[in-house]
């Protein structure tokens, strides 16, 4: 007679879901509030806060010069015997110090101010502590993703306005070859950082900002990550345009407006399509310059646009082929526009 095998697949999905739900509820109800608080302290480091309160209290006692050594020893022993320095313990202890005979009026004022800062504070509820712990955990203080590196770079120094992360690239070695484990970060300072600085001081300031960001991120990176912090490479260009104006337009006003629009469009902090800065590595499209100039209030139409790549020491630059519809930028490049009033000419005359 064959042995009948048991049916091991007699539970439906609903049965399993109901079982797991019941199990979770059962376990949740068995966790006491004390255990929940202990877990929260493990996450957000409440013990460190307690130690800080101890240090502050010990410092306060040590600063009271007219306390006798006997009183100080008694108070110190009392503090060390407390496992948890709560606000209530601290308040009681401070009030006790006030009643000591050898405490001067000046010391009483200091202690009273500390009491006023503590008195009236209510203990947080369990739900408030849970919420506080969740907010603490959500705070970004470790760099893993590119977005983490960019956010933390902005926190590293108030004069850093933008940061751009390029993963798996070492920009100090080669911007084309992928290198696993490397993170290159391009930082852009605020506009006013280098105002009225000499070339030597500007170079030193850039080096300082790079070092500050590097040190800040080095403490927050994964151990296997190598961080390279650099400044952006600026692609110098010159734009020349010929505009045909409407009958009532004034030449000089339209020219100035055109220059302002072009400078804003290519600005590293407020340019681009979104107004948050020209995107790193974004190509320059000649059609966009036509569109930008054509929208000016005094312009009837744009007759011609010429882009020139600037070379150091060359006031004119190298003319880009008219058939070239875009100029490509590398991932760590931004646009540095050079334009003067004479670069905008009036046509159709």
Residue 316's closest CA among 297, 335, 296, 338? Answer: 338
- Residues sharing a CB contact under 8 Å with residue 254, sequence separation 6 or more, in sequence order: 243, 245, 296, 298, 299, 344, 346
Q: For the chain, which domains are there?
A: 12-138 (no CATH), 146-230 (3.30.300), 233-346 (no CATH)
Give the pLDDT confidence score for residue 240 in this predicted structure. 92
Residue 268's closest CA among 163, 152, 159, 156? Answer: 163
Which two three-digit tokens encode residue 265?
């469009």
Q: Are 266 and 329 in contact (CB under 8 A)?
A: no
In this prediction, residue 47 has a pLDDT band, given cuts at 50, 70 and 90, of: very low
Give the pLDDT confidence score for residue 50 in this predicted structure. 47
Tens of pLDDT along 71-82?
Answer: 666 666 665 555
Q: Which residue, chain included where needed, has tokens 């800040």?
A: 216
Residue 153's closest CA among 169, 164, 168? Answer: 164
Q: Are 74 and 59 in contact (CB under 8 A)?
A: no
pTM for this predicted structure: 0.62
Tens of pLDDT along 186-226?
Answer: 999 998 888 888 989 999 999 999 999 999 999 999 999 99
DSSP letter, residue 221:
B
Tens of pLDDT along 233-278?
Answer: 999 999 999 999 999 999 999 999 999 999 999 999 999 989 999 9
Q: Is pLDDT at 232 greater than 80 in this prediction?
A: yes
Of these ranges, 97-101, 314-318, 336-340, the one predicted with the greatest mean pLDDT is 336-340
- Residues sharing a CB contact under 8 Å with residue 178, sequence separation 6 or more, in sequence order: 168, 169
Q: Is 128 helix (H, G, I), strand (E, B) or coil?
A: helix
Percent residues over pLDDT 90 in the chain: 46
Give the pLDDT confidence score for residue 159 in this predicted structure. 94
Which two three-digit tokens encode residue 262?
């072009």
- Residues sharing a CB contact under 8 Å with residue 235, sequence separation 6 or more, in sequence order: 309, 327, 329, 333, 334, 335, 336
Can you list the positions of beta strands (E) in 270-322? 284-285, 299-311, 314-319
Q: Is 238 left (phi over 0), alpha (psi -120 to 50) or beta?
A: beta
- Mark 46-65 as b/e (b = at least 16 C-beta within 10 Å): beeebeebbeebeebbeebe
- Lowest mean per-residue pLDDT among 123-132, 298-307, 332-341: 123-132
User: How far apart (Å, rounded) are the C-alpha atoms in residues 280 and 186?
Assistant: 9
Give the pLDDT confidence score for residue 104 in this predicted structure. 57
User: How far apart (Å, rounded) are the C-alpha atoms in residues 61 and 93?
Assistant: 11
- Nearest 5°: CA angle at 92, between 90 and 97? 95
Q: Are 238 and 249 in contact (CB under 8 A)?
A: no
User: How far apart (Å, rounded) are the C-alpha atoms in residues 169 and 226?
Assistant: 10
């Amino acid at each position: 007679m064959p042995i009948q095998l048991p049916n091991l697949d007699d539970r439906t999905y609903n049965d399993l879901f109901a079982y797991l739900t019941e199990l979770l509820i059962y376990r949740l109800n068995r966790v006491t509030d004390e255990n929940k608080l202990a877990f929260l302290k493990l996450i957000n480091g409440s013990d460190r806060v307690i130690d800080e309160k101890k240090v502050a209290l010990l410092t306060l006692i040590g600063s009271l010069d007219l306390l006798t050594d006997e009183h100080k020893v008694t108070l110190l022993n009392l503090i060390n015997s407390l496992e948890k320095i709560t606000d209530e313990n601290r308040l009681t202890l401070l009030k006790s110090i006030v009643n000591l005979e050898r405490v001067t009026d000046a010391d009483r004022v200091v202690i009273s101010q500390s009491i006023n800062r503590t008195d009236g504070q209510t203990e947080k509820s369990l739900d408030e502590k849970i919420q506080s712990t969740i907010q603490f955990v959500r705070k970004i203080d470790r760099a893993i993703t590119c977005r983490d590196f960019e956010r933390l770079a902005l926190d590293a120094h108030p004069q850093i306005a933008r940061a751009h992360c390029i993963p798996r690239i070492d920009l100090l070695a080669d911007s084309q070859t992928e290198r696993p484990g490397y993170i290159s970060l391009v930082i852009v300072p605020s506009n006013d950082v280098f105002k009225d600085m000499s070339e030597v001081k500007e170079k030193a300031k850039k080096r300082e900002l790079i070092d500050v960001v590097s040190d800040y991120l080095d403490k927050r990176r994964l151990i296997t990550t190598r961080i390279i912090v650099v400044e952006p490479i600026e692609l110098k260009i010159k734009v020349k345009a010929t505009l045909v104006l409407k009958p009532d337009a004034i030449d000089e006003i339209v020219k100035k407006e055109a220059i302002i629009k072009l400078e804003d469009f290519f600005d590293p902090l407020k340019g681009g399509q979104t107004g948050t800065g020209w995107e790193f590595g974004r190509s320059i499209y000649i059609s966009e310059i036509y569109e930008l100039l054509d929208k000016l209030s005094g312009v009837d139409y744009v007759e011609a646009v010429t882009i020139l790549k600037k070379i150091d020491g060359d006031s004119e630059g190298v003319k880009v082929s008219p058939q070239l519809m875009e100029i490509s930028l590398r991932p760590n490049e931004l646009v540095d526009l050079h334009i003067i009033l004479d670069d905008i000419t009036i046509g159709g005359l």
